[in-house]
């Protein structure tokens, strides 16, 4: 099926994404812009072996203008595109793919989304030494954004040691003034840092729990989580109980969605309006 004139269809490919607020934000902005705009979820939860190429091809055939991509496909998707925007080469992952006449083009709006949210919400907090949990697709974007935001010492923990080492090397190559190193699970209890950032899926509705034990949060000035459904993750709830300043995934979610909308439509958006849309919908995407 070819694209329908005057109608824009986009979507999100990921695992366990039923509670995502992204469709609500996009469709509310589309309506505000006077567009016939539809945002659909392509949830791979329950699929034994999701075929990402087939999912992308089906979306193209259905007339989608493009798709957002989330866990666990942000790095995998790079094998299925014809072109990569500059920021994708920097991050090594993509969360937005446009379907163009010249082929699929990968972008990454996570990087900019986290950078702006972090500087806005935690920019006055100490940030010389930060513990980053996760070096996957989102973790790479967050780690590099932290270095650009002024963090000079990054401690990176990921169960995939090779992924953590790659992120260390990329941070030190792209930001020579920053230092990065990996830490093991055993190291965490002794880590001294100004703050902690969770860039893993742990804490999402389908991945409940905390990515670290409570004791690691003691004497940490601040804790940030990029998970936004739910906004109140167990990690943030525990951090607040311990007196930490906290940052939820709201700001990153709004900014990455705004930039993705602009890529899909070519129309500049009002991030504050998208933030109001985010706040006006419950976790199922229903108006409150």
Q: How far, CA to CA in Å, does 78 sit from each of 59, 91, 191, 206?
A: 16, 11, 34, 25
Which residues are paired to 249 by β-bridges? none
Task: State the sign of the Cα–Cα–Cα–Cα dihedral 55, 83, 100, 117.
Answer: positive
Cβ-contact 16, 43 below 8 angstroms: yes
Phi, psi of 284 (to 5 degrees): -90, 5
Burial 134-146 (b: 16+ CB within 10 A, else e): bbbbbbbbbbbbb
Cα separation, 109 vs 114, in Å, equals 9
Q: Which positions ≥6 away from 288 have C-beta within 8 Å?
A: 280, 281, 282
Q: Is the preceding peptide bond at 230 cis, omega within 30 degrees of 0?
A: yes
User: Per the structure block, which two tokens stand in for 68?
Assistant: 């957002």
Q: Could you confirm whether 90 is annotated as catalytic?
A: no
Cβ-contact 211, 138 below 8 angstroms: no
| Catalytic pick among 31, 74, 90, 237 | 74
By annotation, the residues acting in catalysis are 74
């Amino acid at each position: 099926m070819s694209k329908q004139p005057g109608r824009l269809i986009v979507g999100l490919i990921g695992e366990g994404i039923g509670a995502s607020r992204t469709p609500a934000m996009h469709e509310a902005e589309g309506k505000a812009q006077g567009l016939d705009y539809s945002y659909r979820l392509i949830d791979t939860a329950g699929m034994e072996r999701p075929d990402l190429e087939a999912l992308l091809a089906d979306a193209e055939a259905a007339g989608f203008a493009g798709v957002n991509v989330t866990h666990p496909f942000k790095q995998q998707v790079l094998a299925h595109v014809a072109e990569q925007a500059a920021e994708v080469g920097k991050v090594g992952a993509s969360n937005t793919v446009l379907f163009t006449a010249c082929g699929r083009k990968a972008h990454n709006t996570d990087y900019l989304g986290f950078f702006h949210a972090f500087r806005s919400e935690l920019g006055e907090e100490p940030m010389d030494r930060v513990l980053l949990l996760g070096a996957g697709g989102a973790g790479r974007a967050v780690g590099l954004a932290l270095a650009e935001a002024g963090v000079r010492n990054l401690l990176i923990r990921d169960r995939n040691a090779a992924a953590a080492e790659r992120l260390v090397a990329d941070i030190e190559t792209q930001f020579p003034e920053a230092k990065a190193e990996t830490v093991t699970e055993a190291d965490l209890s002794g880590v001294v840092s100004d703050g902690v950032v969770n860039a893993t899926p742990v804490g999402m509705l389908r991945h409940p729990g905390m990515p670290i034990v409570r004791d690691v949060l003691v004497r940490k000035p601040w804790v940030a989580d990029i998970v936004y459904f739910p906004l109140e993750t167990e990690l943030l709830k525990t951090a607040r109980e311990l007196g930490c300043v906290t940052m939820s995934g709201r700001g990153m979610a709004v900014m990455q969605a705004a930039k993705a909308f602009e890529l899909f439509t070519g129309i500049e958006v009002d991030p504050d309006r998208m933030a109001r849309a985010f706040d006006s919908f419950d976790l199922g995407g229903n108006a409150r």
